[in-house]
Amino acid sequence: MRRKAFIFLSTLISFALLFYAVSCQSDEDKTKDTLSGDAIPNDTAASDITGSDSPISPDASDDVNTGDTGGDTSSVTDTGTEDTGGDAGANNDTGSTADVGFESRIEWQDGPSTLDKHAEGIAAFAGGKIYLLAIFGTSKYKREVLDISEGKWNPLADLPEGFNNDMSMRAGGVIGKSIHIVNGHYWFTPYTDHYVFNTETQEWSKKEPYPGDAVGKSCAAIYDGKLYVAGGEKAINSNTAVSRFYRYDPATGEWTELAPMKQPRADFACAFVNGKFHVAGGYQESKKPLASHEIYDTEKNEWRDAEPMPVAAYEIGNAGIEFDGKFVIIGGKDGADLYLDKTMAYDQTTNMWTYYDSIKNPRASHSVVNVGGTIYVIGGFGYYMYTDSVEIGSLKAGK
């Protein structure tokens, strides 16, 4: 009897030990799965999921407007120092040390998707239409036009013979009825071409070539009927930037070199606000994003430092606009290679940045245009690579 009891008890203990061992192994396997990336959190870097069979995009609906309005790991408490010169070591800045508040001023909604998926393009508004020009994409439609009254995108014809139909050109703007685009490249071939598209006749022409030493990733804006072009990349895929700054006058057909920026930069945001030219972000070398911010005075031909961006960002070459009387930058990439959904607004009367409501889909290398107080955010790269997504933002009622 005692022998049977002993055998029963031994068997019971053996089963208990076996169950414990299986449970431990299961927990260990779960831990390994998590560490190996089988469970990807919402703040995963874009480089970690690009090319995945089932990429994961941050769910913007999970965000709560408590001041941290992004779908990424960047925080409004990021610290850093202001860049005041051309020292390459300043590339590591991570944002303003000042307190950055949040104000809910923009209501975002989905807009009509583009015909193709695009990035690195110029969006320009003229004659009641948005033109998307000089773009990379899935190549079926390289240029498109949105008739705002119809809410529908239509293809534009290819460039005429003698023009580079596949060139990426990110710097440009509208002067009168014409859209000027300059300074681009096609793969590893740089171009200083200066193309002009007449929105009335739908014809292309060539003007005086861009005289600078940048081969792309410059930023441009229009003021007083003239085209201002700043910075850019020194050589294709060199990840080094230049600080040179030029102005083109279509009345004379002449380029004039102006005072260079205090800091070289490429792939940055720019815009004119109340007669002052703002540049911010981008990179100087090795694609380490900048937060530094400079303002150019057209009367004095001088640059001065301003409060840095809240978060260092690049791939924002066409993401800067004047909106609500402020210099506004939307989206981009941060130092962790995360796509941003932030809307950052700078008030030059107070020298302070404020977060506005975030866009729904984080993106970079996209195009942003202000159409009479309504923002259009078009295309770009996101967690699903090229995107045809369009978002429309307008001031909330009573704002």
pLDDT digits (tens, 9 = 90+) for 174-203: 999 999 998 776 666 677 889 899 999 999
Q: pLDDT band for 371, please (50, 70, 90 cuts).
A: very high
- Looking at residue 93, what is its pLDDT? 65
- Looking at residue 80, what is its pLDDT? 33
Task: Report whether pLDDT(249) > 90.
Answer: yes
- Looking at residue 186, what is its pLDDT? 67
Q: pLDDT band for 395, please (50, 70, 90 cuts).
A: very high
Average pLDDT for 262-276: 96
312-352 per-position pLDDT tens digit? 999 999 999 999 999 999 999 999 999 999 999 999 999 99
Average pLDDT for 148-154: 95
Domains parsed from the chain with CATH numbers: 95-395 (2.120.10.80)
From residue 41, alpha-carbon distances to 37, 38, 49, 67 in Å are: 9, 10, 11, 21
- Looking at residue 191, what is its pLDDT? 74
Average pLDDT for 116-144: 83
- Looking at residue 18, what is its pLDDT? 42
- Looking at residue 99, what is its pLDDT? 83
Task: Report whether pLDDT(6) > 50.
Answer: no
- Looking at residue 137, what is its pLDDT? 57
- Looking at residue 182, what is its pLDDT? 87
Task: Report whether pLDDT(283) > 60.
Answer: yes
- Looking at residue 17, what is its pLDDT? 43
